[in-house]
Structure 1
Amino acid sequence: MDRVALLAHQLRTPLSAINALAQGLIRRADQLSTHDVRAKAEKIWRASLRLDELTETILSYSRATAGGIVLNPSEFNLDELIRRVCREQGGQDPSRAIRLQLRGLPAMVIGDAILLEQALVIVLSNAMKYSPPERLIEITARRRAGMIRIVVKDQGIGILERDLPFIMQPFFRGQNAKKLPGTGLGLSLAWYILKLHGGDLEIESHEGRGTKVTMIVPETNTTGLSYSI
C-alpha cells in the first residue's frame, strides 16, 4: 500500500463509522431509547475525535516537510499543560487508569506550548492505543540540569526489537501494529517538534511488555532549531 492509499484508508475508517452510526440514528430515531441514542452519539464523537487527530497529524507533517513549522515561544506552565492533556485524553477512555507523578517542575518554561502539547498528545494517545484499557499508563516529569524529561510508560504490545531502529521514520509501522489504526507519522512528528525545541525523543520497548517514551525539552527555548523530516 503506497503512502497516499495508507492515509486515505486511515481517514476512511472513522468516516465510515460516523456515516453508519448517523444513518442508524436517522432510520431508527423513533425506536431508540435515550440510552441507545447517547451510546451511538458517543461512538460518533469518538470517531470524530479520531478523524480530527488524523487530519491534524497529516497537516502538521505536511508543514514540517515543507519547513513550515516554526516555534512561537512564550512562557507557560508545563505542569498545567501535562495535567490538561491527561485529563482530555483520559476523558476519551474513562476506564483507563493514568498515574501522574510531576515533581520539581519550574513554575514557568519558555517554548511553544501548542506544539509541545501536540507532541505529548501523540505519545499519550499511542500509549492508550497500543495497550489494553485495563493496563495502567504512567507519566512522570522531572527537571534535571536545565532539561525536563517527560516519560510516558505503558504496559502494551511493545515494539519488536528489529523495528526499534526505524520506529521514528515517517510512515513506518511495526509489524505487530499494522492491524491497528495509525499513519506511522505521529512519532516522527513528535521527534521533530522536540528537536525544534533543542530537545529529543527516546524510546525503550520490549515486545509484549510495553513501551517507555521519554520526551526531553529544555526549560527555555526562544529561537528554535532547523530540522527536516
Structure 2
Amino acid sequence: MSAAPRRPQRSTPRTSRNGNNRTAARTSAHSIDRVALLAHQLRTPLSAINALAQGLIRRADRLNPKDIRAKAEKIWRASLRLDELIETILSYTRATAGGIVLNPSEFNLEELIRRACREQGGLEPDRPFRLQIRGLPEIVIGDPILLEQALVIVVSNAMKYSWPDQPIEVSTRRRGSMIRIVVKDRGLGIPERDLPFIKQPFFRAQNVRKLPGTGLGLSLAWYILKLHGGDLEIESQEGHGTKITMIVPETNTVGLSYSI
C-alpha cells in the first residue's frame, strides 16, 4: 500500500513577514526617537542648572550680590522650564491613557486669564502684554485648572517663538454660548505646509526644530478644549506670527470623552 500524499504545509509569504518586520522596526524606531527627544529636552535646562550651580560654588567668594542674584535668577528660570516639560509629559501620558477627567466648578474666566498672563509675563518683564478682555460672563462652568494649563501652553508658545521685544496680544469675545480667547504674536509663524499637522503629538514645524520644545503642548491644549466641548483654531504665516483661538463653552458640567 502506498502512503497517502502529504498535505503541503501553509507558509507565511516572505514578503508579508518581511513587511511586518519592517513596520515593527519603524514603529520601534519612532518610539525611540520620541523618547530621545524628550530626554534631550529635559537635559537642556538640567545642564543649565548644573553649570550655573557649579559656577556659584567655584566663585562664591568672588561674586558680588548682584552677580549671585543674576545667576540665581537663571537657575530659577531653567528650573521652571524643567518643571514645565515634566508637567507637559505627565499630562500627555495621562491624556493618552484617558486619565484626564474634568472637575467642573464655577469660576471667573477674566481673573483666570489675567492671572495666567501676569505670571507668564513675569518670566519676561520687558515683554509687552496687551490684554483686551471684554464680553465675558461673570461665571463660567468648567475645569479652571485644565483651562489655565491650556492657556499657559498657548501663551508660553507665543513668547517662545517670538522676539522678546514683540508684544503678546490676548483678547476675548463671546459668540452665543461659546467664548473665544485669542492669543496673537508677531514671531516666527508656522510654514503653510506644516499647519495641517501642528496639533499632532510630537510634531514640530520645520522652522523651530532647532529650538527647545517637545511638540506636545498644542496637542495637549487642543485635547483639554475638546474635553470641554470646545476647540483650538490656528492661523499663521511664516515670518509674520501666529494667532491661536481657544474656543470654550460657557458651561460644561460633565465633560466629553475624547482621545488624543
TM-score, structure 1 length as denominator? 0.99
**Equivalence for 1:177:** 208
Give the aligned residue type for 1:220.
Answer: T
Compute the RMSD of aligned alpha carbons.
Answer: 0.6
- Aligned residue in 2 for 1:97: 128
Question: Which deviations, in whole Å up to 9, do the C-alpha atoms of 1:73-121 show, x marking residues without a partner?
Answer: 0000000000000000000000100100000111110000000000000
The answer to whether structure 1 residue 2 and structure 2 residue 42 are counterparts is no
Amino acid at match of 1:227: Y
Q: Which amino acid aligns with 2:36?
A: A
CA shift, 1:142, in A, is 1.2
Which residue number in structure 1 is paired with residue 150 of structure 2? 119
Which residue of 1 is the match for residue 117 of structure 2?
86
Runs of 4+ displaced beyond 6 Å? none
Residue type of the partner of 2:185? D
* Alpha-carbon distance in 2 for matches of 1:49, 1:97: 21
Matches within 5 A, 1:117-156: 117-156=148-187
2:139 is the counterpart of 1:108: yes
| 1:60 and 2:60 are equivalent in the alignment | no
* CA distance in 2: counterparts of 1:104 and 1:214, whole angstroms: 16
- Summarize the alignment of residues 153-164 of structure 1 with structure 2, pairs less than 5 Å apart: 153-164=184-195
Name which structure has the greater RCO, CA cutoff 8 Å, separation 6+: 1
Q: CA separation in 1, counterparts of 2:76 and 2:172? A: 31
Q: Equivalent residue for 2:55? A: 24
Q: Aligned ranges for residues 26-41 of structure 1 at < 5 Å?
A: 26-41=57-72
C-alpha displacement of 1:136: 1.1
Question: Partners of 1:62 and 1:174 in 2: how far apart?
Answer: 22
Q: Report how many residues are paired.
A: 229
Unaligned regions of 5+ residues in structure 1, if any? none
Which structure 2 residue ranges, 5 or more long, are not aligned? 1-31
Secondary structure of the residue that 2:192 maps to in structure 1?
Answer: coil
- Per-residue displacement from partner, 1:42-76 (whole Å, max 9, x unpaired)? 00000000001000000000000000000000000
Letter in 2 for 1:19: N
Q: In structure 1, how many angstroms separate the alpha carbons of the residues matched to 2:188 and 2:58?
A: 39
TM-score when scaled to structure 2? 0.87
Q: Is residue 205 from structure 1 mapped to residue 236 from structure 2 by the alignment?
A: yes
Q: For 1:95 and 1:180, locate their aligned partners in 2 and report how far apart those are by CA, in whole Å.
A: 21
**Which residue identity is paired with 1:60?**
S
Alpha-carbon distance in 2 for matches of 1:73, 1:197: 9
